[in-house]
Structure 1
Protein backbone atom coordinates (compact mmCIF):
# COMPACT_ATOMS: atom_id res chain seq x y z
CA UNK A 1 0.00 0.00 0.00
CA UNK A 2 1.27 3.49 -0.83
CA UNK A 3 0.55 6.68 1.08
CA UNK A 4 -1.78 7.81 -1.71
CA UNK A 5 -3.77 4.55 -1.42
CA UNK A 6 -3.99 5.01 2.35
CA UNK A 7 -5.33 8.55 2.04
CA UNK A 8 -7.90 7.50 -0.53
CA UNK A 9 -9.60 5.69 2.38
CA UNK A 10 -9.90 8.62 4.81
CA UNK A 11 -12.54 10.77 3.15
CA UNK A 12 -15.98 10.78 4.73
CA UNK A 13 -17.83 11.61 7.91
CA UNK A 14 -16.58 9.71 10.93
CA UNK A 15 -18.02 9.24 14.42
CA UNK A 16 -15.10 9.33 16.84
CA UNK A 17 -15.16 7.93 20.39
CA UNK A 18 -12.12 9.17 22.32
CA UNK A 19 -10.45 8.39 25.64
CA UNK A 20 -7.74 10.82 26.71
CA UNK A 21 -5.21 10.31 29.50
CA UNK A 22 -3.16 13.18 30.88
CA UNK A 23 0.03 13.37 32.93
CA UNK A 24 -0.33 12.00 36.48
CA UNK A 25 -2.64 13.96 38.73
CA UNK A 26 -5.25 14.83 36.11
CA UNK A 27 -8.42 12.83 35.44
CA UNK A 28 -8.90 10.95 32.21
CA UNK A 29 -11.60 12.18 29.85
CA UNK A 30 -13.81 10.65 27.23
CA UNK A 31 -15.60 12.40 24.46
CA UNK A 32 -17.26 12.06 21.13
CA UNK A 33 -16.94 14.01 17.94
CA UNK A 34 -18.00 13.88 14.34
CA UNK A 35 -15.09 14.38 11.94
CA UNK A 36 -15.77 15.47 8.40
CA UNK A 37 -12.74 14.72 6.21
CA UNK A 38 -12.88 16.18 2.73
CA UNK A 39 -10.39 15.85 -0.12
CA UNK A 40 -9.03 19.14 -1.43
CA UNK A 41 -7.49 19.61 -4.87
CA UNK A 42 -3.73 20.13 -4.63
CA UNK A 43 -4.00 23.34 -6.69
CA UNK A 44 -6.45 24.84 -4.15
CA UNK A 45 -5.18 28.28 -2.98
CA UNK A 46 -5.05 27.05 0.64
CA UNK A 47 -2.73 24.20 -0.38
CA UNK A 48 -0.55 26.53 -2.45
CA UNK A 49 -0.23 28.98 0.46
CA UNK A 50 0.59 26.26 2.99
CA UNK A 51 3.24 24.74 0.72
CA UNK A 52 4.83 28.15 0.14
CA UNK A 53 5.23 28.62 3.92
CA UNK A 54 7.63 25.65 3.85
CA UNK A 55 9.37 26.49 0.55
CA UNK A 56 7.52 23.71 -1.27
CA UNK A 57 5.42 23.94 -4.39
CA UNK A 58 1.87 22.66 -4.66
CA UNK A 59 2.90 20.36 -7.52
CA UNK A 60 4.82 18.29 -4.95
CA UNK A 61 1.58 17.68 -2.99
CA UNK A 62 0.20 14.17 -3.42
CA UNK A 63 -2.81 14.53 -1.13
CA UNK A 64 -4.67 17.31 0.66
CA UNK A 65 -7.61 17.09 3.06
CA UNK A 66 -9.54 19.29 5.43
CA UNK A 67 -10.59 17.85 8.76
CA UNK A 68 -13.56 19.55 10.42
CA UNK A 69 -14.51 18.28 13.88
CA UNK A 70 -17.95 18.80 15.35
CA UNK A 71 -17.05 18.33 19.02
CA UNK A 72 -19.62 16.95 21.39
CA UNK A 73 -19.58 17.18 25.16
CA UNK A 74 -17.35 14.95 27.26
CA UNK A 75 -19.13 11.95 28.68
CA UNK A 76 -17.42 12.24 32.06
CA UNK A 77 -14.24 13.71 33.46
CA UNK A 78 -15.34 17.34 33.51
CA UNK A 79 -13.70 18.40 30.26
CA UNK A 80 -15.21 21.17 28.22
CA UNK A 81 -15.85 20.78 24.53
CA UNK A 82 -13.24 22.45 22.36
CA UNK A 83 -14.30 24.98 19.74
CA UNK A 84 -14.56 23.84 16.13
CA UNK A 85 -11.35 24.22 14.15
CA UNK A 86 -10.62 23.23 10.60
CA UNK A 87 -7.28 21.62 9.81
CA UNK A 88 -5.73 21.46 6.36
CA UNK A 89 -3.32 18.56 5.90
CA UNK A 90 -1.05 18.22 2.87
CA UNK A 91 1.31 15.34 2.07
CA UNK A 92 4.34 15.90 -0.14
CA UNK A 93 5.82 13.48 -2.66
CA UNK A 94 8.54 11.13 -1.55
CA UNK A 95 10.95 8.85 -3.35
CA UNK A 96 9.65 5.65 -1.77
CA UNK A 97 5.88 6.33 -1.72
CA UNK A 98 5.55 5.35 1.96
CA UNK A 99 7.36 8.07 3.90
CA UNK A 100 7.87 11.78 3.58
CA UNK A 101 6.86 15.19 4.84
CA UNK A 102 3.37 16.45 5.65
CA UNK A 103 2.23 20.00 6.36
CA UNK A 104 -0.64 20.97 8.61
CA UNK A 105 -2.44 24.24 9.29
CA UNK A 106 -5.24 24.66 11.82
CA UNK A 107 -7.34 27.81 12.02
CA UNK A 108 -5.53 30.62 13.85
CA UNK A 109 -2.52 28.46 14.76
CA UNK A 110 0.96 28.35 13.25
CA UNK A 111 1.50 25.85 10.46
CA UNK A 112 3.62 22.80 11.27
CA UNK A 113 5.63 20.30 9.29
CA UNK A 114 6.02 16.68 10.24
CA UNK A 115 6.91 13.29 8.86
CA UNK A 116 4.64 10.48 7.70
CA UNK A 117 5.60 6.84 7.39
CA UNK A 118 3.38 3.99 6.26
CA UNK A 119 4.39 0.76 7.99
CA UNK A 120 2.39 -1.96 6.25
CA UNK A 121 -1.14 -0.65 6.68
CA UNK A 122 -0.43 1.57 9.71
CA UNK A 123 0.16 5.28 9.16
CA UNK A 124 2.54 7.00 11.55
CA UNK A 125 2.57 10.80 11.78
CA UNK A 126 5.21 12.57 13.85
CA UNK A 127 6.02 16.19 14.58
CA UNK A 128 9.15 17.30 16.41
CA UNK A 129 10.03 20.89 17.30
CA UNK A 130 11.25 22.92 20.28
CA UNK A 131 7.74 23.35 21.69
CA UNK A 132 6.32 19.83 21.45
CA UNK A 133 6.54 16.37 19.99
CA UNK A 134 3.57 14.44 18.72
CA UNK A 135 3.19 10.87 17.49
CA UNK A 136 -0.01 9.56 15.97
CA UNK A 137 -0.87 6.15 14.50
CA UNK A 138 -3.89 5.31 12.33
CA UNK A 139 -5.01 1.92 11.06
CA UNK A 140 -8.15 0.26 9.76
CA UNK A 141 -9.90 -2.76 11.23
CA UNK A 142 -12.14 -2.72 8.14
CA UNK A 143 -12.98 -0.01 5.56
CA UNK A 144 -15.46 1.70 7.89
CA UNK A 145 -13.73 1.22 11.27
CA UNK A 146 -10.39 2.74 12.10
CA UNK A 147 -8.30 3.15 15.22
CA UNK A 148 -6.13 6.11 16.15
CA UNK A 149 -3.67 6.66 18.99
CA UNK A 150 -1.69 9.75 19.82
CA UNK A 151 0.93 10.87 22.29
CA UNK A 152 1.75 14.55 22.80
CA UNK A 153 4.56 15.90 24.97
CA UNK A 154 5.14 19.64 25.36
CA UNK A 155 8.29 21.37 26.53
CA UNK A 156 6.47 22.60 29.66
CA UNK A 157 5.99 18.98 30.84
CA UNK A 158 2.39 18.55 29.69
CA UNK A 159 1.71 15.04 28.40
CA UNK A 160 -1.40 13.56 26.83
CA UNK A 161 -2.18 10.16 25.33
CA UNK A 162 -5.40 9.29 23.54
CA UNK A 163 -7.13 6.39 21.85
CA UNK A 164 -9.95 6.84 19.35
CA UNK A 165 -12.17 4.35 17.62
CA UNK A 166 -13.82 5.86 14.58
CA UNK A 167 -16.75 4.61 12.51
CA UNK A 168 -17.44 5.96 9.05
CA UNK A 169 -20.98 7.31 8.81
CA UNK A 170 -20.84 8.31 5.15
CA UNK A 171 -18.41 8.85 2.30
Structure 2
Protein backbone atom coordinates (compact mmCIF):
# COMPACT_ATOMS: atom_id res chain seq x y z
CA UNK A 1 0.00 0.00 0.00
CA UNK A 2 1.21 3.52 -0.72
CA UNK A 3 0.22 6.83 0.90
CA UNK A 4 -2.40 7.59 -1.75
CA UNK A 5 -4.10 4.23 -1.14
CA UNK A 6 -3.90 4.77 2.63
CA UNK A 7 -5.63 8.15 2.33
CA UNK A 8 -8.29 6.70 -0.02
CA UNK A 9 -8.98 3.81 2.33
CA UNK A 10 -9.29 6.30 5.23
CA UNK A 11 -11.99 8.38 3.51
CA UNK A 12 -15.44 8.25 5.05
CA UNK A 13 -17.26 8.62 8.35
CA UNK A 14 -15.77 6.84 11.36
CA UNK A 15 -16.79 6.19 14.96
CA UNK A 16 -13.69 6.36 17.16
CA UNK A 17 -13.08 5.18 20.70
CA UNK A 18 -9.86 6.38 22.35
CA UNK A 19 -8.19 5.46 25.62
CA UNK A 20 -5.34 7.72 26.75
CA UNK A 21 -2.89 6.98 29.55
CA UNK A 22 -1.07 9.87 31.23
CA UNK A 23 2.06 8.03 32.28
CA UNK A 24 3.37 10.46 34.90
CA UNK A 25 0.10 10.66 36.85
CA UNK A 26 -0.93 7.06 36.05
CA UNK A 27 -4.39 8.25 35.05
CA UNK A 28 -6.49 7.12 32.11
CA UNK A 29 -9.30 8.77 30.21
CA UNK A 30 -11.69 7.57 27.53
CA UNK A 31 -13.30 9.44 24.70
CA UNK A 32 -15.58 8.95 21.71
CA UNK A 33 -15.64 10.79 18.44
CA UNK A 34 -17.45 10.93 15.14
CA UNK A 35 -14.81 11.67 12.51
CA UNK A 36 -15.18 12.47 8.82
CA UNK A 37 -12.18 12.14 6.51
CA UNK A 38 -12.41 13.75 3.07
CA UNK A 39 -9.81 13.45 0.31
CA UNK A 40 -8.58 16.80 -1.04
CA UNK A 41 -7.16 17.44 -4.50
CA UNK A 42 -3.71 18.98 -4.92
CA UNK A 43 -5.32 22.24 -6.10
CA UNK A 44 -7.66 22.53 -3.11
CA UNK A 45 -7.11 25.98 -1.51
CA UNK A 46 -6.25 24.45 1.89
CA UNK A 47 -3.64 22.17 0.30
CA UNK A 48 -2.17 25.06 -1.69
CA UNK A 49 -2.01 27.16 1.51
CA UNK A 50 0.01 24.45 3.29
CA UNK A 51 2.37 24.18 0.31
CA UNK A 52 2.95 27.93 0.53
CA UNK A 53 3.40 27.92 4.34
CA UNK A 54 5.99 25.12 4.16
CA UNK A 55 7.68 26.44 0.98
CA UNK A 56 6.98 23.22 -0.95
CA UNK A 57 7.18 23.28 -4.75
CA UNK A 58 3.52 23.24 -5.94
CA UNK A 59 4.42 20.92 -8.82
CA UNK A 60 5.30 18.13 -6.34
CA UNK A 61 2.93 15.20 -6.03
CA UNK A 62 0.89 15.33 -2.84
CA UNK A 63 -2.08 13.72 -1.15
CA UNK A 64 -4.37 15.74 1.08
CA UNK A 65 -7.15 14.98 3.51
CA UNK A 66 -9.44 17.04 5.70
CA UNK A 67 -10.36 15.56 9.07
CA UNK A 68 -13.41 16.88 10.93
CA UNK A 69 -14.30 15.63 14.41
CA UNK A 70 -16.95 15.89 17.10
CA UNK A 71 -15.60 14.33 20.31
CA UNK A 72 -16.47 13.92 23.97
CA UNK A 73 -14.45 12.63 26.91
CA UNK A 74 -16.01 10.31 29.48
CA UNK A 75 -17.45 12.26 32.41
CA UNK A 76 -17.51 15.56 30.53
CA UNK A 77 -20.40 17.35 28.88
CA UNK A 78 -18.00 19.56 26.89
CA UNK A 79 -17.64 18.69 23.21
CA UNK A 80 -14.41 19.05 21.28
CA UNK A 81 -15.18 19.90 17.66
CA UNK A 82 -12.89 21.01 14.90
CA UNK A 83 -11.13 20.16 11.68
CA UNK A 84 -7.66 20.13 10.24
CA UNK A 85 -5.94 19.38 6.95
CA UNK A 86 -3.09 16.94 6.42
CA UNK A 87 -0.90 16.78 3.32
CA UNK A 88 1.57 14.02 2.53
CA UNK A 89 4.41 14.93 0.16
CA UNK A 90 6.29 11.76 -0.91
CA UNK A 91 10.08 11.82 -1.16
CA UNK A 92 11.06 11.79 -4.83
CA UNK A 93 13.38 8.79 -4.41
CA UNK A 94 11.14 6.80 -2.03
CA UNK A 95 7.36 7.39 -2.23
CA UNK A 96 6.72 5.25 0.89
CA UNK A 97 8.31 8.03 2.95
CA UNK A 98 7.97 11.78 2.93
CA UNK A 99 6.93 15.00 4.61
CA UNK A 100 3.68 15.27 6.50
CA UNK A 101 2.30 18.81 6.59
CA UNK A 102 -0.39 20.21 8.84
CA UNK A 103 -1.41 23.68 9.94
CA UNK A 104 -0.19 24.95 13.29
CA UNK A 105 -2.76 26.83 15.39
CA UNK A 106 -0.40 28.75 17.66
CA UNK A 107 0.56 32.15 16.33
CA UNK A 108 4.24 32.91 16.15
CA UNK A 109 5.46 29.32 16.41
CA UNK A 110 7.60 27.99 13.56
CA UNK A 111 6.04 25.41 11.27
CA UNK A 112 7.38 21.90 11.75
CA UNK A 113 6.94 19.36 9.00
CA UNK A 114 6.52 15.84 10.27
CA UNK A 115 7.62 12.68 8.52
CA UNK A 116 5.57 9.74 7.36
CA UNK A 117 6.56 6.21 6.47
CA UNK A 118 4.50 3.31 5.12
CA UNK A 119 6.04 0.08 6.40
CA UNK A 120 6.16 -3.32 4.73
CA UNK A 121 3.18 -4.20 6.97
CA UNK A 122 1.15 -1.35 5.32
CA UNK A 123 1.06 0.61 8.60
CA UNK A 124 1.50 4.38 8.42
CA UNK A 125 3.85 5.92 10.98
CA UNK A 126 3.83 9.69 11.54
CA UNK A 127 6.60 11.37 13.52
CA UNK A 128 6.93 15.04 14.44
CA UNK A 129 9.56 16.66 16.65
CA UNK A 130 8.94 20.08 18.15
CA UNK A 131 11.19 22.11 20.45
CA UNK A 132 9.34 20.92 23.56
CA UNK A 133 7.85 17.57 22.51
CA UNK A 134 8.06 14.51 20.28
CA UNK A 135 4.97 12.88 18.73
CA UNK A 136 4.63 9.50 17.00
CA UNK A 137 1.46 7.89 15.72
CA UNK A 138 1.04 4.54 13.98
CA UNK A 139 -2.12 3.76 11.99
CA UNK A 140 -3.15 0.50 10.33
CA UNK A 141 -6.21 -1.29 8.99
CA UNK A 142 -7.35 -4.55 10.57
CA UNK A 143 -9.94 -4.66 7.75
CA UNK A 144 -11.22 -2.06 5.26
CA UNK A 145 -13.77 -0.84 7.84
CA UNK A 146 -11.67 -1.12 11.02
CA UNK A 147 -8.70 1.15 11.59
CA UNK A 148 -6.39 1.21 14.61
CA UNK A 149 -4.14 3.98 15.93
CA UNK A 150 -1.58 4.16 18.70
CA UNK A 151 0.24 7.34 19.64
CA UNK A 152 2.88 8.51 22.06
CA UNK A 153 3.56 12.10 23.08
CA UNK A 154 6.76 12.81 25.03
CA UNK A 155 7.30 16.27 26.45
CA UNK A 156 10.60 17.83 27.43
CA UNK A 157 9.34 18.16 31.03
CA UNK A 158 9.02 14.36 31.21
CA UNK A 159 5.22 14.28 30.91
CA UNK A 160 4.14 11.58 28.46
CA UNK A 161 0.84 10.30 27.10
CA UNK A 162 0.10 7.06 25.27
CA UNK A 163 -3.19 6.47 23.43
CA UNK A 164 -4.97 3.65 21.64
CA UNK A 165 -7.85 4.35 19.27
CA UNK A 166 -10.09 1.96 17.36
CA UNK A 167 -12.12 3.38 14.49
CA UNK A 168 -15.10 1.74 12.78
CA UNK A 169 -16.29 2.98 9.38
CA UNK A 170 -19.87 4.24 9.68
CA UNK A 171 -20.52 5.43 6.16
CA UNK A 172 -19.32 7.77 3.48
CA UNK A 173 -16.76 6.78 0.89
CA UNK A 174 -16.14 3.09 0.48
CA UNK A 175 -12.67 1.83 -0.31
CA UNK A 176 -11.80 1.22 -3.93
CA UNK A 177 -11.16 -2.33 -5.14
CA UNK A 178 -7.43 -1.58 -5.32
CA UNK A 179 -7.19 -0.39 -1.71
CA UNK A 180 -9.47 -3.18 -0.48
CA UNK A 181 -7.15 -5.72 -2.08
CA UNK A 182 -4.08 -4.04 -0.54
CA UNK A 183 -5.66 -4.09 2.92
CA UNK A 184 -6.86 -7.68 2.53
CA UNK A 185 -3.36 -8.85 1.62
CA UNK A 186 -1.93 -6.95 4.62
CA UNK A 187 -4.36 -8.54 7.06
CA UNK A 188 -3.92 -12.09 5.68
TM-score after normalising by structure 1: 0.89
Q: Aligned residues, how many?
A: 168
Q: Say if 2:92 is the partner of 1:91.
A: no
Written as runs of structure 1 = structure 2, the 5 A alignment for 1:79-158 is: 81=78, 83-94=80-91, 95-105=93-103, 111-120=111-120, 121-158=122-159
Unpaired segments ≥5 residues, structure 1: none
Structure 2 distance, partners of 1:61, 1:34, is 30
Deviates more, 1:124-133 or 1:104-113: 104-113
Structure 1 82/22 Cα, relative in aligned 2: closer, same or farther at 3 Å?
Answer: farther
Counterpart in the other structure of 1:49: 49
Structure 2 distance, partners of 1:97, 1:152, is 26
- Contact map agreement 1:88 1:106 (CA 8 A) in 2: no
1:52 to partner: Cα distance: 1.2
Q: 3-state SS of the aligned residue for 1:105?
A: coil
1:24 to partner: Cα distance: 2.5
Structure 1 61/106 Cα, relative in aligned 2: closer, same or farther at 3 Å?
Answer: farther
Q: 3-state SS of the aligned residue for 1:86?
A: strand
| Residue-by-residue CA offset, 1:100-137 (whole Å, 9 max, x unaligned) | 11101155666531000000211000001212110000
Q: 3-state SS of the aligned residue for 1:112?
A: coil
Unpaired segments ≥5 residues, structure 2: 174-188
Structure 1 81/131 Cα, relative in aligned 2: closer, same or farther at 3 Å?
Answer: farther
Task: Determine which structure has the larger helix proportion and give its number.
Answer: 2
Structure 1 distance, partners of 2:163, 2:118, is 20
Q: 3-state SS of the aligned residue for 2:102?
A: strand
Over the aligned positions, Cα root-mean-square deviation in angstroms equals 1.9
Structure 2 distance, partners of 1:81, 1:22, is 20
1:21 to partner: Cα distance: 0.2
Q: 3-state SS of the aligned residue for 2:113?
A: strand
1:2 to partner: Cα distance: 1.6
TM-score after normalising by structure 2: 0.82
